[in-house]
């Protein structure tokens, strides 16, 4: 990064549903000294939001190379909520790399993330630029929770994650999935069997977000191998949804298969567009507030784990939790807490400093721990409003 910058942080895509939540979160928790601005492609909406928040508004269309270049040149950090990222994010990331600017976003689009690694990783390593995709619910809770357990154990063992959650779907998330499907990306939900988990007195089912979270954790392991002893040849991470019984597990597996079939079909995608939330739409404030995500991590054999740890996150996973993760990632980058340059994961970019920020802000708290079974302190199962 060369020369002084006008802003410490710019939030791109701030006028969408998730972007507005992120802007409000920034206003509530950013230090008073932070110089930040909101940005988007619609001048009227950007300036209306900027007036409401009493910050500056910048206009930048993600498909306009000069506009995103000018945006990146004015700031030290860019946060982006402007998805689908495979369509709207590539020029912005390239501009950030060119201008030496740290960047983070909410994407869970694996093919696009792999493209960023191929295009920019080596350059960013050399120049100390941190590019951190998947900095929302995909995949901060998983990546940091696993890293904390790996650090604690100090040995490489298989770790399995089990989520219980309640939340809604916003239009941006839905349309990102539709864009991936239209671009020919195969469905990401793993075809895995359901199975009983006696140590928790529950059943495990396939989890929609497991492929992204597992890949992010796997990349953290690749990048941290030799630095953290818990990431070694015997390390493995697999992720599942936790349900109360066999019927619930079977029902979730069937639901996910049906969703994949709809995404793979032109008629199915038409139905999702017709009846699903539109871009800019999302759950009600009450639904967002009442949501939650609990993550239970089991280290070692599933029938006799050597450690069990539980993390509880308040709020709707795809909305409140995701913007809290993104905003704290941006504040950490703006505070100079990046550990290295590259196209990174949350754990390899910021590690414990980000987890500490999220705990200090009240976004996450640790549940019961120990070598025995733990109870589940919130309702179990995935609810879509």
Q: Which pLDDT tens digit goes with each residue over 230-265? A: 798 889 999 999 999 999 999 988 888 777 777 777
Single pTM value for the model? 0.88
Check whether 378 has a pLDDT greater than 50.
no
Check whether 384 has a pLDDT greater than 80.
no
The pLDDT value given to residue 171: 61
The pLDDT value given to residue 274: 73
Contacts for 247-254: CB closer than 8 Å, 24+ residues apart? 248/203, 248/205, 248/381, 249/194, 249/195, 249/203, 249/204, 249/205, 250/194, 250/205, 252/205, 252/206, 252/381, 252/382, 253/194, 253/205, 253/206
Directed axis angle between helix 171-182 and helix 17-29, to 10°? 130
Distance CA 166, CA 380 (A): 9
Tokens linked to 310: 């539980």
Domain boundaries, the chain: 140-317+363-384
Distance of CA 309 to the CA centre of its chain: 20
What is the percent of the chain where pLDDT is above 70? 86
For residue 289, count CB atoms less than 10 angstroms from its CB and return exposed for 0-12, middle for 13-18, buried for 19 or more. middle
The pLDDT value given to residue 303: 94
Q: In what order do the strands lie in the sheet with 56-59?
A: 56-59, 36-40, 7-12, 75-80, 102-105, 130-132, 342-343
Check whether 160 has a pLDDT greater than 50.
yes
Distance CA 207, CA 191 (A): 10
Instruction: Give the chain's mean pLDDT.
Output: 88
């Amino acid at each position: 990064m060369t020369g002084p910058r006008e802003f410490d942080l710019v939030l791109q895509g701030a006028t969408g549903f998730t972007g507005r939540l992120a802007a409000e979160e920034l206003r509530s928790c950013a230090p008073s000294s932070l110089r930040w601005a909101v940005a988007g492609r619609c001048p009227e909406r950007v300036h209306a939001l900027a007036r409401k928040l009493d910050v500056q508004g910048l206009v930048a269309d993600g498909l306009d190379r000069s506009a995103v270049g000018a945006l990146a040149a004015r700031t030290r950090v860019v946060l982006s909520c402007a998805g689908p990222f495979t369509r709207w994010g590539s020029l912005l990331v390239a501009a950030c790399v060119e201008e030496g600017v740290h960047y983070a976003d909410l994407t869970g689009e694996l093919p696009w993330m792999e493209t960023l690694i191929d295009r920019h990783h080596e350059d960013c390593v050399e120049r100390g630029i941190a590019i951190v995709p998947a900095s929302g619910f995909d995949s901060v809770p998983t990546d940091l929770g696993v890293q904390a357990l790996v650090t604690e154990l100090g040995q490489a063992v298989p770790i399995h994650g089990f989520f219980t959650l309640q939340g809604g779907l916003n239009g941006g998330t839905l349309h990102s999935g539709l864009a991936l499907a239209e671009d020919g990306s195969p469905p990401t939900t793993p075809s895995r069997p359901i199975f009983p988990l006696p140590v928790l007195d529950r059943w495990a089912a396939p989890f929609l977000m497991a492929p992204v979270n597992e890949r992010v954790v796997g990349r953290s392991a690749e990048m941290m191998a030799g630095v953290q002893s818990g990431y070694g040849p015997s390390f493995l991470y697999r992720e599942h949804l936790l349900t109360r019984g066999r019927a619930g597990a079977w029902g979730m597996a069937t639901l996910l298969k049906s969703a994949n079939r709809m995404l793979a079909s032109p008629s199915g995608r038409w139905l999702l567009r017709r009846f699903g939330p539109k871009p800019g739409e999302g759950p009600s404030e009450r639904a967002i507030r009442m949501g939650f995500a609990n993550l239970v991590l089991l280290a070692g054999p599933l029938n006799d784990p050597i450690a069990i740890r539980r993390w509880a996150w308040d709020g709707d996973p795809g909305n409140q939790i995701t913007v809290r993760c993104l905003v704290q990632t941006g504040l950490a980058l703006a505070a100079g807490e990046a550990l290295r340059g590259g196209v990174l994961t949350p754990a390899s970019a910021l590690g414990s400093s980000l987890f500490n920020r999220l705990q200090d802000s009240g976004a996450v708290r640790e549940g019961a721990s120990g070598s025995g079974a733990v109870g589940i302190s919130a309702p179990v199962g995935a609810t879509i409003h």
